[in-house]
Copies of this chain bind each other. A is one copy, B any other.
């Protein structure tokens, strides 16, 4: 069984050609993808709506996570195994968006430092996004 199929099976999802194709696109990309990026790669094969629904399903199953940004474009990236701890997704690495090439990458090696919230606030999830120039654009 292929890597792609086992990812789907592990999340108790049926294996369809559409899901396999979208997973393949993520696996062959080294940066985070917006809906638009995926659509432009397989709009002739799959419907726009299918892509929306597939991304939604992948999110819920913790196969991908979404990355906050100030430009109002939701980008998704594959979760690595460490992402999913006891069914609950926990992303503790920094995301970097390059102002030059526009690509967003997960900096797996940079962990988000702890912060002390004011009294009364409870933390459930934390995200850190850095903008700047990436190593290939510098």
Contact = CB atoms under 8 A, between A and B. Distances in A.
Which residue of A66, A68, A113, A125 has the most chain B CB atoms within 10 A of its CB atom? A68
Interface string A113-138: 11111111111111111111111001
A110 interface: yes
A69 interface: yes
Interface residues of A, number: 39
Given A74-B70, A121-B134, A134-B120, A128 B115 contact: yes
A130 B110 contact: no
A23 interface: no
A58 interface: no
B70 A70 contact: no
A63 interface: no
A44 interface: no
A119 B127 CA distance: 21
Nearest to A131: B125
Nearest to A65: B70
A107 B118 CA distance: 8
Interface string A90-124: 00001010010000000101101111111111111
Given A110-B117, A115-B110, A135-B118, A99 B74 contact: no
